[in-house]
């Protein structure tokens, strides 16, 4: 955009236009004096270099459409030196650009700042970058650069920040010169690439270094002491081994330390607690062992402590961190270890705690009633222990609770009606315990519930209307209890439902014949599966948990149900015909109605495009087998055994890939190529169930209905006003 000025010319007695020219010059000069940037022209050589670079860039969003004219201030992402017009900064981050970076960019000889992050630039990093002697920052992160780090970068003696993370094809041996080419280097981020080899000794001694992130590579070797005052050290997800050093040189400065997912051994030295500024410590997924010393007590600045997935043992530490009313631990993860004994009361004094993970240990005793003191608590997981007693009523004091996960313990008693006070609860999993009684009507108040697993308990009674108030329900399992009565008409009407498992109860009556919700119908086969394993059998919900903490603000909570869409009503007392509408639900991936008293004929299966498993065995179904199923390409399990089917099954209808599917139907003729007709006789060993006949895949399938994964998303941890981001992943 160019400025145009209309200057009035007064000519009452002057015959020439020349006297007006000084006036115009004065106005233009005054404009530049008061706003010099309005007149800042790009250096012609730098302009040519930028246009040359732009010639190879794909720019679908037209972010660089402003690169016209000569006014530097109008060029998106470009900053110039005020007097000379030479380009000193190129910042094109997150503009959806792609293509190769041409060497003409290296003609910007006064360039100090180069940021091309968050795009899709590809090819190798230009070797000519080494000629940009004034560069202080290079950020090429989150692109598609490949190859190795060019040695010419060693010529950048003024460089302060080298950020190349998130280029998966960039790697090779970690360069030997990486720690000694610039005595000014403060930040080195090579994470999430493919570098290998060992860290050079020079990297441990680079005095200027403050931020080092080599995480998520293939770097090997022993973990050494660092001899500079680091603030951020990320070495997670590599092949490092050895014992944990003390990081003594960083006692007053280190805020983030993550060594997760390596092969560290030995115990956790108490000297780690002397890191005064530490806000985030992640040592998960290692081989750390022994107990935690009582002298290992962190300061109140520690926000996140993750020691999960190790081999730590002994009692849980009575005091793991100092805490005040306004500061202290926000997330504590000691899960997947071998801690034993009771949950110490000191944990209930961590008033700022928002996420507590103690699952998969050997804990005994009762859940402390004083857990209700943790009023900021949002996620608690005590699953897979040997805890006893009842769910403490005081837990309603955790009024912000979003996930209560207590499965696989020895808990007893009843579900207390007062739990309706947890009206923000999204996940309730108390499966595989000894809980008895009925579902209280008051739980209708838990309107935020999305995942409910009450399976494998001693619950009884009929289904009450409290469940109908859980309008956001995605997963509901009441399997292997003592529920009875008729199935209600509203059973399949939840708008978001994906899994219903009522197997192993005493439900009677008919299967409701109603309209199925859009969630069952809209599945397009996009659920997350292991392509090598048809089904993953689990008897409890598995949850993958991540957390986001910003300073001392609240932990974020998001999750995604990622499971097969299915219905399991097996092993009940259901009777009557199967509603035809059930076989018109196109999104259904599995259906198990086995071990009931269902009768009538089997409708066509051809509309169930996503069907992967169907078990109708051990009923009283009759009539002929429906027509061709060869169009059901995803179907890998079919069991129609032990019914009263009759007629014949032609060889060309797609049923041949399910041997044994028609056992126990003596009036059924199953055609085989060149061998005539085989009767559906029982298996060779009478009394065996369908699962035993068909092998391990079937055990995997109908051991439980579905596999459910949850993602409570991690965005990052900002440990200081400088907003340091990190990712922490913990598991249930």
CA of residue 648 relative to chain centroid, distance: 50
Residues 6+ apart with CB under 8 A from 726: 234, 256, 258, 280, 282, 716, 717, 719
**CB-based contact 461:438 (threshold 8 Å):** yes
Distances (CA, A) of 463 to 451, 466, 502, 640: 17, 8, 11, 29
Tell me the whole-structure pTM to 2 decimals. 0.85
Q: How far is CA 376 from CA 186, 300, 596, in A?
A: 37, 16, 46
Q: Distance between CA atoms of 18 and 27, rounded to whole angstroms?
A: 15
Strands (E), 390-527: 403-405, 427-429, 436-437, 451-453, 458-461, 475-477, 482-486, 499-501, 506-509
Residues of the chain with pLDDT under 50: 1-37, 523-541, 683-732
Within 8 A by CB and 6+ apart from 409, the residues are: 382, 383, 384, 385, 386, 387, 388, 432, 433
pLDDT of residue 27: 41
Q: Of 248, 250, 259, 256, which Cα lies nearest the Cα of 232?
A: 256
Cβ-Cβ contacts under 8 Å for 172 (sequence gap 6 or more): 147, 148, 149, 194, 195, 196
Q: Residue 626 is encoded by which pair of tokens? A: 């429906």
pLDDT attached to residue 656:
82
Q: Are strands 218-222 and 194-198 parallel, antiparallel or unpaired?
A: parallel
Strands (E), 184-255: 187-189, 194-198, 211-213, 218-222, 232-234, 239-242
Pull the structure tokens for residue 122: 């590809």
Give the count of alpha carbons within 13 A of 22, CB side only: 3
Taking alpha carbons only, the member of 580, 602, 563 closest to residue 516 is 580
Helices (H) and strands (E) in the chain, counts: 6, 52
Query: From the CB of residue 255, how many other CB atoms can be counted at a distance below 10 Å?
Result: 24
Amino acid 142: pLDDT? 98
Cα of 581 vs its chain's centroid, Å: 36
For residue 705, count CB atoms less than 10 angstroms from its CB and return exposed for 0-12, middle for 13-18, buried for 19 or more. Answer: buried
**What integer pLDDT is reported at residue 629 of this predicted model?**
84
CA distance 431 to 214: 41
The Cα 201–Cα 176 span in angstroms is 9
C-alpha–C-alpha distance, residues 383 and 404, integer Å: 10
Pairwise CA distance, residues 230 & 216, whole Å? 19
| Backbone angle region of 33, left / alpha / beta, with phi > 0 → left and psi within -120 to 50 → alpha | alpha
d(CA 490, CA 437): 23
The pLDDT, as a whole number, for residue 628 is 76
Q: Nearest Cα to 480, choosing from 540, 542, 520, 391?
A: 540
CATH of 40-220 among 3.20.20.540, 3.30.300.30, 3.40.50.720, 3.80.10.10? 3.80.10.10
**pLDDT of 525:** 38
Structure confidence at residue 325 (pLDDT): 75
Tokens of 106: 């290296």
Residue 534, SS3 per DSSP: coil
Cβ count within 10 A of residue 684: 8
pLDDT at 354: 92
Look at phi and psi of residue 155 and say left if phi exceeds 0, alpha if psi is from -120 to 50, else beta: alpha
Can you tell me the distance from the alpha carbon of 652 to that of 22, in angstroms, rounded to the nearest whole number?
Answer: 97
Q: Are 540 and 453 in contact (CB under 8 A)?
A: yes
Q: Under a CB-based contact definition with an 8 Å cutoff, are residues 644 and 559 in contact? A: no
Side-chain-facing half-sphere of 691: CA atoms under 13 Å: 12
What DSSP assignment string belongs to 61-89? T-TTTT--SSBGGGSTTEEE-TTT--EEE
> For the chain, what's the residue count?
732
Beta bridge partners of 282: 258, 306
Counting beta carbons within 10 angstroms of the beta carbon of residue 16, is it exposed (0 to 12), middle (13 to 18) or buried (19 or more)? exposed
Phi-psi domain of 623 (left: phi exceeds 0; alpha: psi -120 through 50; beta: other): left
> How many CB atoms sit inside 10 A of residue 207's CB?
11
Nearest-10 Cα torsion for 271, 272, 277, 281: -170
Q: Which two tokens stand for residue 31?
A: 């404009």
Q: What sections of 257-345 are H helices per DSSP?
A: none
- Is residue 341 within a helix (H) or strand (E), and if so which, with residue range? strand 338-341
Structure-token match 């705690």, residue found: 353
């Amino acid at each position: 955009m160019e400025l145009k000025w209309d200057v009035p010319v007064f000519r009452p007695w002057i015959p020439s236009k020349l006297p007006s020219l000084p006036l115009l010059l004065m106005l233009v000069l005054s404009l530049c004096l008061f706003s010099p940037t309005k007149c800042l022209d790009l250096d012609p050589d730098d302009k040519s270099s930028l246009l040359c670079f732009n010639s190879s860039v794909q720019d679908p969003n037209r972010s660089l459409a402003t690169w016209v004219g000569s006014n530097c201030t109008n060029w998106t992402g470009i900053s110039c030196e005020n007097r000379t017009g030479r380009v000193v900064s190129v910042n094109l981050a997150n503009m959806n650009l792609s293509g190769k970076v041409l060497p003409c960019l290296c003609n910007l000889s006064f360039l100090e700042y180069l940021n091309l992050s968050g795009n899709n630039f590809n090819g190798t990093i230009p070797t000519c970058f080494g000629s940009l002697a004034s560069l202080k920052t290079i950020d090429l992160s989150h692109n598609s650069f490949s190859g190795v780090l060019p040695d010419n970068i060693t010529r950048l003696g003024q460089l302060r920040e080298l950020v190349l993370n998130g280029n998966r094809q960039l790697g090779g041996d970690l360069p030997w010169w990486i720690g000694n080419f610039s005595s000014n280097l403060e930040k080195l981020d090579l994470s999430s690439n493919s570098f290998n080899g060992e860290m050079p000794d020079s990297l441990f001694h680079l005095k200027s270094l403050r931020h080092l992130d080599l995480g998520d590579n293939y770097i090997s070797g022993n973990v050494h002491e660092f001899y500079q005052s680091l603030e951020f050290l990320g070495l997670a997800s590599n092949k490092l081994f050895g014992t944990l050093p003390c990081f003594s040189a960083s006692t007053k400065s280190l805020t983030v330390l993550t060594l997760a997912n390596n092969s560290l051994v030995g115990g956790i030295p108490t000297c780690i607690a002397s890191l005064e500024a530490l806000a985030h410590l992640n040592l998960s997924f290692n081989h750390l062992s022994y107990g935690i010393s009582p002298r290992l007590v962190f300061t109140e600045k520690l926000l996140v402590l993750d020691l999960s997935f190790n081999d730590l043992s002994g009692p849980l530490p009575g005091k793991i961190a100092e805490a005040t009313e306004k500061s202290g631990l926000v997330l504590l993860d000691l899960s997947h270890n071998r801690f034993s004994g009771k949950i110490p009361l000191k944990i209930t004094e961590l008033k700022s705690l928002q996420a507590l993970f103690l699952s998969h240990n050997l804990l005994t005793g009762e859940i402390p009633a004083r857990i209700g003191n943790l009023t900021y608590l949002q996620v608690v997981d005590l699953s897979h222990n040997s805890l006893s007693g009842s769910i403490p009523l005081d837990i309603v004091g955790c009024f912000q609770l979003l996930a209560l996960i207590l499965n696989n313990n020895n808990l007893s008693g009843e579900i207390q009606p007062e739990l309706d006070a947890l009206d923000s609860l999204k996940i309730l999993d108390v499966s595989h315990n000894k809980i008895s009684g009925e579902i209280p009507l008051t739980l209708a108040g838990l309107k935020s519930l999305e995942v409910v697993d009450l399976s494998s308990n001693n619950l009884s009674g009929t289904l009450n209307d409290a469940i109908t108030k859980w309008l956001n329900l995605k997963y509901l399992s009441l399997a292997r209890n003592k529920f009875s009565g008729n199935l209600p008409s509203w059973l399949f009407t939840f708008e978001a439902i994906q899994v219903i498992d009522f197997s192993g109860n005493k439900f009677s009556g008919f299967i409701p014949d109603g309209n199925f919700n859009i969630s069952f119908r809209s599945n397009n086969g996009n659920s997350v599966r292991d392509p090598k394993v048809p089904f993953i059998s689990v008897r409890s919900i598995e949850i993958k948990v991540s957390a986001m903490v910003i300073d001392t603000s609240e932990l974020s909570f998001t999750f995604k149900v990622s499971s097969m869409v299915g219905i399991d009503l097996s092993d009940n007392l259901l009777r009557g015909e199967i509603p035809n509408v059930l076989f018109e639900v196109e999104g259904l991936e599995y259906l198990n109605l086995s071990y009931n008293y269902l009768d009538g004929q089997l409708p066509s299966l051809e509309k169930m495009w996503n069907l992967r498993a169907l078990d109708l065995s051990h009923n009283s179904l009759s009539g002929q087998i429906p027509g061709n199923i060869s169009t059901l390409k995803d179907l890998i399990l079919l069991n129609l055994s032990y019914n009263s089917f009759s007629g014949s099954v032609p060889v060309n209808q797609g049923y041949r890939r399910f041997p044994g599917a028609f056992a126990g139907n003596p009036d059924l003729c199953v055609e085989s190529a060149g061998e005539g007709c085989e009767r559906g006789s029982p298996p060779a060993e009478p009394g065996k169930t369908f699962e035993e006949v068909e092998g391990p895949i079937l055990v995997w399938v109908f051991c439980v209905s579905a596999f459910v994964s949850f993602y409570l998303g991690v965005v990052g941890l900002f440990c200081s006003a400088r907003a340091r981001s990190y990712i922490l992943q913990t598991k249930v």
